[in-house]
Amino acid sequence: MTGLQPHPGTGATMMGAVSQKIDIATVLRAIGVGHVEKCDPLKFDEAMAAVDRAAAATAAGVAALVFESPCIHVAAPGANYVVDAAACECKECIVKLGCPAILSVDGKAWIDNSLCTGCDLCAQICRFDAIHAVAPEAAQ
């Protein structure tokens, strides 16, 4: 992870001066990695498809997947999210996603919007359509 930290991909030095921007995918291709792909990990279906392609490509050699998404420390927060407790059934987002904003309350998922960045990932994985974006005043 390189979020908020100085690294050669930012196009700036640690002191903020404009510098050469190094693209990690280009570096990987230059050293001979056969399968190099970039994707946004917050687009769940696309990311899963990219993981499958990379896994399949390992049969022929080295494969690399570069996940790129705006750093939550600098990007503007997205919408607030709420869980419809009546539709909440499976605990999957609680046990599998690892998002610190999702808590278990009375056996149902509950979102602490003071920690939620509005990434939408939980809504994308919920098979019961129980998670929805709402206006800030409608969030708990």
Among 55, 128, 136, 140, binds ligand SF4 (CB under 6 A): 128
Structure tokens at 23: 């693209």
Task: Decide if residue 82 touches ligand SF4 (CB under 6 A).
Answer: no
Q: How far is CA 96 from CA 23, 99, 121, in A?
A: 31, 9, 12
Among 102, 103, 106, 138, binds ligand SF4 (CB under 6 A): 102
Give the nearer residue to ligand SF4 in terms of CB position, either 64 or 102: 102
Task: Give bridge partners of residue 110 from the DSSP assignment.
Answer: 103
Q: How far is CA 5 from CA 2, 20, 42, in A?
A: 5, 16, 20
| Chain contacts with ligand SF4 (rule: CB under 6 A) | 81, 83, 88-94, 97, 99, 101-102, 109, 111, 116-122, 126, 128, 130-131
